[in-house]
Amino acid sequence: MFALYSLSVERFSPCLIYVVQLVSRFYCFMPCLYHCVSLRGVFSAATVEQFEQAKSRLSTLKNDPGNEVKLKIYALFKQATQGPCNTPKPGMLDFVNKVKWDAWKSLGSISQDKARQQYCDLVGSLVAAEGGSSAQVAAQPAGSEATYETLLVTTEDNITTIKLNRPTKKNAITTEMYNDIVAALEQAAKDDSVLTVFTGAGDFYCSGNDLSNFTKIPEGGVELMAKQAGDLLRNYVNAYIDFPKPLVAVVNGPAVGIAVTALGLFDLVYATEKATFHTPFSQLGQSPEACSSYTFPKIMGVAKASEMLLFNKKLTATQACELGLVTEVFPESSFQMEVWSRLKAYAKLPPNSLALSKQLIRSTEKDRLHAVNDAEVERLVERWTSDECFNAIMSFFQAKSKL
Ligand code: COA
């Protein structure tokens, strides 16, 4: 049996180890779950065929794809066959069912068609990775829209929208999501859209880096984990620095950590009045990222930037607007309507003029931003191996496990 993560378990609380063991045991019984729902009469004949093919090819895999992937497969299967999860959330101590429920719930309201297609795509990619042909199981993406597990990427009215779609975890960004966002930005840079918009599903904009990213220690140990995380972060922030078209944040709720710091690289930031902006780096034994050590003092002055970046001051939307981090604040009741009607009008402006003007505004800063990004990453790689950071992250999960 494969362990849940490559955890160096001796560094974790007994409670966490217990969860890992329980979840590992759960996965021993996963294969039978893939086949537990009859699909007859639910789908059109062609799709049933693809889906059935994907199910049978899944059992031919030679290598265990890992528990995270298996959880995704489970969740997609449930969504494809039963629709969005609306069963009650299992209790805190029912670890196994809670993990399953979380995975299913995190798919939000994506349609059964889309879930079925993602299931086929995922199985197809696993088969292909083992040298088989994915053609028999991969379904065609709808239109030109790429599909991601926890991002909803759509293009409409000349606007490409990248929506973080992990509402049960307050849209915390996993390692996979960092890579997917970079891919989505690369795609948006090339497509026909005029504006690119970031927003979040549910009541949060984003709770920042998923702190469980730090619990996935590879065989090379914490140093390797920190180096890999550093490479990922550098790449992620570079994708914003180099993005050629106007980038807009539609901040639909509270924002934490990198979701806040990256705002200094956006061209417009619209926030609902219920949004808050919090960068608790020193609380977590970490240091600023996404060029905020440069953009924040420039936007709001050193004194106010230090209050946020050193002393964890959480800003209301109005305060963030007064300091220049947010462009405009809207009442919650009319937020979506007002913001989107404005963005749709902006997206009718001449695209080349918009992109070239943005590039002029940013071009003088580009080299400096890349240098700041490198320096911040170097500092963070050191921070992630520190006891201060390790203890802070353990406290977060221990506090959660005591609830
Ligand atoms: N990393 C990992 N898990 C996170 C997370 C994060 N950044 N943010 C939220 N979650 C998870 C919670 O653990 C919880 O999971 P559970 O339902 O399995 O217990 C779920 O998302 C909902 O969060 P919860 O804490 O119950 O909601 P809340 O409204 O009480 O608080 C936050 C929301 C964002 C204020 C709180 O979760 C938090 O402080 N998260 C950490 C934020 C952070 O430090 N980010 C990194 C900055 S550098």
- Write down the architecture of domain 1-142 according to CATH: Up-down Bundle (1.20)
Give the per-residue pLDDT at 235.
Answer: 98
Q: Which residues pair with 312 in a beta bridge?
A: none
Grouping H, G, I as helix, E, B as strand and the rest as coil, residue 272 is: strand
Tell me whether residue 82 is exposed, middle or buried, using C-beta atoms within 10 angstroms of its C-beta: 0 to 12, 13 to 18, 19 or more.
middle
pLDDT higher than 50, residue 268? yes
Q: What is the pLDDT of residues 299-338, one digit of tens each?
A: 999 999 999 999 999 999 999 999 999 999 999 999 999 9
Q: How far is the CA of 50 from the centre of ligand 1 (A)?
A: 37
- Candidates 169, 171, 170, 151; CA nearest to 161 is 151
Give the per-residue pLDDT at 98.
Answer: 75
Determine the average pLDDT of the residues in 192-211. 97
Quote the CA–CA distance of 241 and 169 in Å, as a whole number. 27
With a 6 Å cutoff on the Cβ, whether 368 touches ligand 1 is: no
- Candidates 49, 28, 31, 54; CA nearest to 132 is 54
Give the per-residue pLDDT at 23.
Answer: 40
One-letter amino acid of 232: L
- From 170, 173, 212, 213, the mutation candidate for ligand 1 (largest count of ligand atoms within 8 A of CB) is 170
- Candidates 326, 295, 325, 288; CA nearest to 310 is 288
Name which residue leads in pLDDT, 63 or 27.
63
- Band of pLDDT at residue 402, cut at 50, 70 and 90: low
Strand 276-278 versus strand 315-316 pairing type: antiparallel
pLDDT higher than 70, residue 266? yes
Return phi, psi of residue 217, to 5°: -85, 120
Q: What's 164's DSSP letter? A: E
Whether this prediction's pTM lies above 0.85 is answered by no
Quote the CA–CA distance of 78 and 33 in Å, as a whole number. 9
With a 6 Å cutoff on the Cβ, whether 124 touches ligand 1 is: no
- Band of pLDDT at residue 24, cut at 50, 70 and 90: very low
Quote the CA–CA distance of 374 and 225 in Å, as a whole number. 17
With a 6 Å cutoff on the Cβ, whether 167 touches ligand 1 is: no
Tell me whether residue 243 is exposed, middle or buried, using C-beta atoms within 10 angstroms of its C-beta: 0 to 12, 13 to 18, 19 or more.
buried
Residue with CA at minimum distance from ligand 1 atom 35: 207
Name which residue leads in pLDDT, 324 or 75.
324
With a 6 Å cutoff on the Cβ, whether 257 touches ligand 1 is: yes
Quote the CA–CA distance of 77 and 286 in Å, as a whole number. 38
Q: How far is the CA of 169 from the centre of ligand 1 (A)?
A: 6
With a 6 Å cutoff on the Cβ, whether 208 touches ligand 1 is: yes
CA dihedral 327, 332, 335, 338 (to 10 degrees): -100
Mean pLDDT of the chain: 84
Please give the share of the chain, as a percent, with pLDDT higher than 70.
Answer: 82
Determine the average pLDDT of the residues in 274-290. 97
What element of type H or E holds 113? helix 112-129
Grouping H, G, I as helix, E, B as strand and the rest as coil, residue 51 is: helix
Residue with CA at minimum distance from ligand 1 atom 41: 207
Quote the CA–CA distance of 215 and 312 in Å, as a whole number. 23
Q: How far is the CA of 253 from the centre of ligand 1 (A)?
A: 14
With a 6 Å cutoff on the Cβ, whether 207 touches ligand 1 is: yes
Q: What is the pLDDT of residues 81-126, one digit of tens each?
A: 989 998 888 876 566 677 788 889 889 888 888 888 888 888 887 8
Q: What's 13's DSSP letter? A: -
Domain locations in the chain as residue ranges = 1-142, 144-403
Lowest mean pLDDT among 31-40, 74-83, 204-213, 326-335: 31-40
CATH assignment of 144-403? 3.90.226.10
Sequence-separated (6 or more) residues with CB below 8 Å from residue 244: 189, 355, 358, 359
Residue with CA at minimum distance from ligand 1 atom 3: 210
Quote the CA–CA distance of 277 and 286 in Å, as a whole number. 17
Contact in structure between 128 and 161 (CB atoms under 8 Å): no
